[in-house]
Amino acid sequence: MSPLTVVLPMLFVAVWAAFCAALLHHGCFDISAPFPEPLPTTPRAGYCDSVNSMKPWLSLTLGPTVLVAVLAFANRGNPRRVAVFTFVICLALIVNAAVANSLSYNFALR
C-alpha cells in the first residue's frame, strides 16, 4: 500500500501521454510535402479535425493521467492490476497516435 503504487503509474502515463500527444500533433499538423496540411476530403483530415476539436494536449495528457490516478488509488492494494490498467491506457494512447500517422492522403487529388 505504498504511495508509489499511485504516483509512479501516474507519472509514467503523464510522460507517455505527452509523447503520444506529440506524435498525434506531428501526424496531423507537421506533415511532410507535398501537402502542408491534410486535404479536406482525406481520412486524415476528418480524423485530425475531430481530434483537434477536443483540445488534444489537454484531453490526451490530463484525461489518461487522471484516469490512471483514480484507478491506481482504487486498486492500490493490487499492484498487478494497477500495472495492467497502466499498460492498457498506454496502449490506447499509442494506438491513437498510430492511427493519426497511418491515415493516408487521397493522392488522386494531386
Structural domain includes residue 65:
yes
Structural domain includes residue 34:
yes
Structural domain includes residue 109:
no
**Grid cell in block for residue 30:** 507537421
Q: Give me the number of domains the chain comprises.
A: 1
Structural domain includes residue 58:
yes
Structural domain includes residue 98:
yes
pTM beyond 0.85:
no
Identity of residue 47:
Y
Confidence of residue 23 (pLDDT cuts 50, 70, 90): confident
Q: Return d(Cα 64, Cα 46) in angstroms, integer.
A: 23
Structural domain includes residue 46:
yes
Structural domain includes residue 110:
no
Percent of the chain with pLDDT over 90: 37
Structural domain includes residue 93:
yes
Domain that holds residue 18: 4-104
CB atoms closer than 10 angstroms to residue 91: 11
Per-residue pLDDT reduced to its tens digit, 67-83: 999 999 999 889 999 99
Q: Return d(Cα 79, Cα 14) in angstroms, integer.
A: 18
Confidence of residue 39 (pLDDT cuts 50, 70, 90): low
Per-residue pLDDT reduced to its tens digit, 56-70: 677 888 999 999 999
Nearest to 16 by CA among 89, 84, 69: 89
